[in-house]
Chain A
């Protein structure tokens, strides 16, 4: 069954600290993996998107890694800011009937405290 599991479920860190969020997936055939940031009550906003051949991708203070062999990804946030408080969702895309289909993880809720 195609699944995306994220850990931890929630995380509290102090402003300025770094953190790493984890994503494990069992999705086949794999197309790409995305990390989204979702503020409460808002739509998801894309942070990174990686294909099978990409191991790492950065977007400012966000760095995503992908190990397609172990089917694991991580999102590292550097020098956290209060505005980083949000849910971070790992989304894996697979091909179904010729179309890309997205499977969403449950997200990690990050709270950055001053």
Chain B
């Protein structure tokens, strides 16, 4: 069964360092998302990406964050200068499209980012 894969599963970084979280969405999907979940809290939307550009972003997604689809398969989230409060589980999701107006979003297993 196709799945969204994320690497690494766990990343520890020092405050102020740059991190890149990687995702390989399901191959024929067109819409890509990043979410985060701080430990014990609800999942929060960060950004959606379609047709090689950001379609929507939340207030969390400030200038420290960026997304890229550098080739036909990878979808990355970069945090330029990490802060302690960036410690969270980051989920990538993708979905395809049908003529019915909605399709299921499939989530990856997540990358646990720990900023020390």
Contact = CB atoms under 8 A, between A and B. Distances in A.
A46 B108 CA distance: 12
Nearest to A99: B55
B102 A104 contact: no
Contact of A41 (B45, B55, B89, B108): B89
Given A89-B43, A99-B55, A107-B42, A41 B110 contact: yes
A53 B74 CA distance: 36
Contact of A99 (B42, B50, B105): B50
A76 B44 CA distance: 25
B102 A31 contact: yes
B5 to A, nearest CB: 10
B102 A44 contact: no
For the side of the interface on B, what is the size category?
20 to 34
A97 interface: yes
B95 to A, nearest CB: 8
B55 A49 contact: no
A111 B104 CA distance: 26
Contact of B56 (A36, A96, A105): A96
A101 interface: yes
Main secondary structure of the interface of A (DSSP, over half): strand
Contacts of A32: 102
Contacts of B89: 41
B107 interface: yes
B48 interface: yes
A44 B33 CA distance: 13
A101 B45 contact: yes
B112 interface: yes
A80 to B, nearest CB: 23
Interface in A70-90: 89
Interface in B37-91: 41-45, 48, 50, 55-56, 89, 91
16 contacts: A34-B104, A41-B89, A42-B110, A43-B93, A43-B107, A44-B91, A44-B107, A46-B106, A49-B102, A97-B55, A101-B45, A102-B33, A102-B45, A103-B45, A104-B42, A105-B42
